[in-house]
Structure 1
Amino acid sequence: MVELASQQQGFLGVESAREEAGITVSYWESLEAIRAWKKEAEHTLAQERGKREWYHCYATRIARVERDYTFHKP
């Protein structure tokens, strides 16, 4: 899905973590870009498959990032 998402208008990037649970955060330039991604046919099929086969529950949050700071130890 990341490869497909990266081809969509307004896609900015993705971060993902997998251990006991998985989390993926995708970044988009606008609410319109998010809506278009939600309607993308292959993405919709993947969501339905996830509901049927993999996930007991999940949450979707749409939020605006106002600032982003990064620290790297030298």
Structure 2
Amino acid sequence: MIAQTPEPTYYAVIFTSVRTEGDNGYAAASERMVELARQQDGFLGVESAREELGITVSYWRDLDSIKRWKENAEHAAVREKGRRDWYRSFKTRIAKVEHDYGFEK
């Protein structure tokens, strides 16, 4: 589903990853992180797709909201497990969204 974001400006955290083999608890942890992010002040929405390459984009009101999310203890623990068990590689990018437009039937 496409996230319903407000009028710009806001921020996007783009997380691109290549997984290791097997689930090893990944799906449950991923669901929990989305649930937890939704509870964070400043969270605006999330979009995610996974094939060989996974891309998750979360949207945030401001840089302070992103910082607080990164500092969340449960999120930090899951990030460490990701480095250890779930990802062969990943990249995180933070971008300011200045314009957006769309189409819907």
* Length-normalised TM-score, structure 1: 0.92
Instruction: Report the number of matched residues.
Output: 73
Gaps of 5+ in 2: 1-32
Shift of 1:71: 2.5
What's 2:11 paired with? none
Kindly indicate which of the two structures has a greater share of residues assigned to strand: 2
Paired residues for 1:40-59 under 5 Å? 40-59=72-91
Shift of 1:52: 0.2
* Length-normalised TM-score, structure 2: 0.66
Give the counterpart of 2:65 among 33, 46, 59. Answer: 33
What's 2:35 paired with? 3
Aligned residue identity for 1:13: G
1:9-68 CA-to-partner distances (Å, cap 9, x unmatched) read 100000101112211010110100000000001100110000000112111111111111
Q: Moved runs in structure 1, 4+ residues, more than 4 A?
A: none
Q: Percent identity?
A: 63
Gaps of 5+ in 1: none
Q: Structure 1 CA distance, aligned partners of 2:40 and 2:51?
A: 28
Q: Which has the higher contact order (CA 8 A, sep 6+)?
A: 2
Q: In structure 2, the residue corresponding to 1:60 is in which secondary structure?
A: strand
Indicate whether 1:18 and 2:54 are aligned: no
